[in-house]
Structure 1
Amino acid sequence: MLTVDSIDLSYGAAKVLRSVTVAAETGQVTCVLGRNGVGKTSLLRAITGQQPIGAGRITLDGADISRLAPYDRSRRGIGYVPQGREIFPLLSVKENLETGFAGVGRGEKYIPDEIFDLFPVLGQMMHRRGGDLSGGQQQQLAIGRALVTRPKLLVLDEPTEGIQPSVIKDIGRAIDYLRRSGKMAILLVEQYFDFARELADRFVVMERGEVVMAGGAAELEGDDVRRRIAI
């Protein structure tokens, strides 16, 4: 379980997160919603260790990870799928997946078959360069790479951005399967409301670096949530 407790985060003199509190439980999907520029990606950067926090605390399974480097957080069980995917275009699909080996023990340096069950296209294109894949296929590759690390927490930053509808459905089915497996907590940043509503067990809505709403899935039906995230 991830607990983010009253964190602040600044870029120089600009404070972008103010006393943000979020929790993500194993076997559940927690969605972070909000318009562009409200601090959603900054929250993920704080969780993954790419940006230091100024106040508050971040724990994973009860252990304080607030000051750990990104690679140490990966080894503790955080798998990250960044916005824009950031796959290696000149490496093959197989080599991209194998970059996830850096955060696992010697006995786990193999690609789980589960990844190819979730995304069969990756098995079919193992020796193709990452840059030759479509945007949707690259997104599946980025998720697969994160799963190679056997995460306790899977963090996804807008996985539907710029993706064709058929692949969005495939990604949604994969997230639902991972949730039902009960092996990990899933933290999903999303602007596509219908996608979030179908998957979320819990949600938080952010505005101007603060959490302004939080609740269970049933509350996502309310017009107030839609109004706060409408572009």
Structure 2
Amino acid sequence: MLSLRAVNQFYGSQHTLWNVDLDFPQGQCTGVIGLPGMGKTTLMNCIVGNLPVESGTIVWHEAGAPPCDLLSQAPGQRQTPRIGYVPQDRRIFSQLTVEENLHIAMRATGTADPVAKSEMFDLFPQLHPLRQRRANGLSPDVQYQLALANALVTRPRVLILDEPMHGAEPSFAQKLTQLLARLNRELGMTVLLAEQQLSFIRRVADRFCMLYRGRNVAQGHVNELNDELIAHWMSLEARR
């Protein structure tokens, strides 16, 4: 379980996250939804450690182990649980080959298991015949698969995806749906998914939380994400 309690974050004098309380159950997929600019990406970056948190706690509690306060660790060094993160811009090494990307991802976290790389080619079979191809020569969807492989090759306990459907082809949505189901149900991985496409969230998520102007205004089982809730917090009027 990943738990956030009273998390506040600022960009300079701008208060961006307001006393956010959220629970992300272990082994489930939680969709973080909201209009653009409501704090989804900021929340993801606070969890990963890319942004400082002004106050509050972010605690990982795995069965059989003591709770771990992620904020007690230096930003960028949050290894318990190991967190895999795929930002919206992917951040792959465009001038390096697919295989070189995976090698650097493993070295960055001290992972030296040769089996891990072969597992990525099993998860993403399109990458194997392209393993000597430079990343900038891949299609956008295959580039995203590489970004996912870079995140997963370290065998994280938590996977965070920021707007994976942004600019994606419809065929990729089906592939990602199947992958997330496998990660959740077969491997027990906890997935956090910041996304605006509600149809995708309803297909892949177990739970949802909704952000509005940096505040968590609703959360629950994905079946509770009804039209009334969406109309109230995600209509054009809600932007005002």
> Is the aligned partner of 1:91 residue 2:88?
no
Tell me the residue number matched to 2:132.
127
> Is the aligned partner of 1:103 residue 2:105?
no
| Residue 226 to residue 175, structure 1, CA distance change in 2 (3 Å) | farther
Q: How many Å separate the matches in 1 of 2:171 and 2:89?
A: 18
Report if the CA contact (8 A) 2:81-2:158 is conserved.
no
Identity %: 38
What letter corresponds to residue 82 of structure 1 in structure 2?
Answer: P
> Is the aligned partner of 1:147 residue 2:152?
yes
| Residue 229 to residue 119, structure 1, CA distance change in 2 (3 Å) | farther
What letter corresponds to residue 17 of structure 2 in structure 1?
Answer: L
What letter corresponds to residue 36 of structure 1 in structure 2?
Answer: P
Tell me the residue number matched to 1:52.
52
| Residue 126 to residue 25, structure 1, CA distance change in 2 (3 Å) | same
Tell me the residue number matched to 2:38.
38
Report if the CA contact (8 A) 1:30-1:186 is conserved.
yes
Tell me the residue number matched to 1:188.
193
Q: Which ranges in structure 1 are unaligned for 5 or more consecutive residues?
A: none
Which one of 81, 85, 103 corresponds to residue 86 of structure 2?
81
CA deviation after TM superposition for structure 1 residue 109, in Å: 5.0
Q: Tell me the secondary structure at the aligned position of residue 73 of structure 1.
A: coil
What letter corresponds to residue 202 of structure 1 in structure 2?
Answer: R
What letter corresponds to residue 96 of structure 2 in structure 1?
Answer: L
Q: How many Å separate the matches in 2 of 1:8 and 1:109?
A: 40
> What's the TM-score, normalizing by structure 1?
0.93
What letter corresponds to residue 214 of structure 2 in structure 1?
Answer: G
What letter corresponds to residue 109 of structure 2 in structure 1?
Answer: G
Tell me the residue number matched to 2:64.
none
> Is the aligned partner of 1:2 residue 2:2?
yes
Q: How many Å separate the matches in 2 of 1:81 and 1:129?
A: 19
What letter corresponds to residue 19 of structure 1 in structure 2?
Answer: N
Q: Kindly provide the CA deviation profile for residues 55-106 of structure 1, in whole angstroms up to 9, marking residues without a partner as x.
A: 1001122200114234421464111111111111001011111222121444
Report if the CA contact (8 A) 1:26-1:182 is conserved.
no
Q: Tell me the secondary structure at the aligned position of residue 15 of structure 2.
A: strand
Q: How many Å separate the matches in 2 of 1:223 and 1:173?
A: 29
Q: How many Å separate the matches in 1 of 2:114 and 2:74?
A: 22
What letter corresponds to residue 185 of structure 1 in structure 2?
Answer: T
Q: How many Å separate the matches in 2 of 1:230 and 1:162?
A: 22
Q: How many Å separate the matches in 2 of 1:76 and 1:100?
A: 17
Report if the CA contact (8 A) 1:52-1:67 is conserved.
no
Q: Which ranges in structure 2 are unaligned for 5 or more consecutive residues?
A: 62-66
| Residue 98 to residue 170, structure 1, CA distance change in 2 (3 Å) | same
